[in-house]
Amino acid sequence: MKKNKIVIGSRESKLAVLQSEMVRDYIKKQNPELEVEILTMKTTGDIILDRTLDKVGGKGLFVKELDKALMDGKSILSVHSLKDMPMEVQEELPLLAFSKREDPRDVLVLPEGVTELDKNKPLGCSSLRRTLQLKKIYPDMEVKSIRGNLQTRLRKLDEGQYSGLILAAAGLKRLGLKARINRYFTADEIIPAAGQGILAVQGRKGEDYGFLDGYCDADAWAAGSAERAFVKLLDGGCSSPVAAHAEVYGEEIYLRGLYYNEKDGSYVTGTLRGQRKDAEKLGRELAETLREKGENKE
């Protein structure tokens, strides 16, 4: 790789490329002398679309190929949605920076031109985390799995296969599709996935990443660290529907979490407030509290 050339590894979906371009534009603006290009690739998670993620190996499926490109020196960094990152990150491939957080909420999207939910058709939703929480909001509706990138899902919705989709606001807003949002769910109604709305930049140990100086958002790093510590302690990947969402207020963090009991399919939620400097400790503490509560409830 040329000395003044930066290669960013990215999934090839429209949203993934757009997110990589956001990081590329930052690097170029700060370092005009550098040549920055994006290397796109299909990941296993993009190829296997006929099964839910928990059936085929969880979050790692979206990073395997990007990790290999990093290890082989084909790229010097990868850009991921933090919510797609496995909780265990290889020591040789550290997380370098988190972007400023986009809107972390989940939203409802209706078919083009429709204003009311059709109760006779299913809601499309790709995660157990959302499915569990939706049962409280729409107890009388069927929730059906939907996979594929954002454009594929929206096409299926507009063709009439679903009454509505539950998606992340962040992706829709980044793609300029904010107008498609019919309803925002508060973090109390549906606790978002850990890391939702944050971009993660991953690199290779021992490289100089001075060109990224100033990119990392301190609030996002604190919130993301608390959320990931919560999920990691409960060992939640894509297969286990845990959820965690942190809000940062100055030196304080307010953390919400959801623990799912696989034995009986029940779940409990809870919150914890603490100091931002203790972000990871807070995540672990809330996880332990909720696990205990979830397993010992009467």
Residues that are catalytic: 84
- d(CA 270, CA 293) in angstroms, rounded, equals 10
- Cβ burial, residue 145 (10 Å; 0-12/13-18/19+): middle
Q: Which neighbouring-strand residues pair with 7? A: 37
Tokens 């003044």 belong to which residue? 4
Q: Nearest Cα to 148, choosing from 241, 19, 39, 51?
A: 51
CA 210 to chain centre: 26
Q: What count of Cα atoms within 13 Å lies in the side-chain half-sphere of residue 199?
A: 24
- d(CA 250, CA 275) in angstroms, rounded, equals 9
- d(CA 254, CA 275) in angstroms, rounded, equals 9
- d(CA 49, CA 18) in angstroms, rounded, equals 22
Copy the structure tokens of residue 35.
């040549």
What is the layout of strands, in order, in the sheet containing 181-184?
A: 143-144, 123-124, 164-168, 106-109, 181-184
| Amino acid letter, 84 | D
Phi, psi (rounded to 5 degrees) for 294: -70, -30
Q: Coil, helix or strand for 24?
A: helix
> Which residues lie closer than 8 Å to 97 by C-beta, 6 or more apart?
200, 201, 212, 215, 216, 221
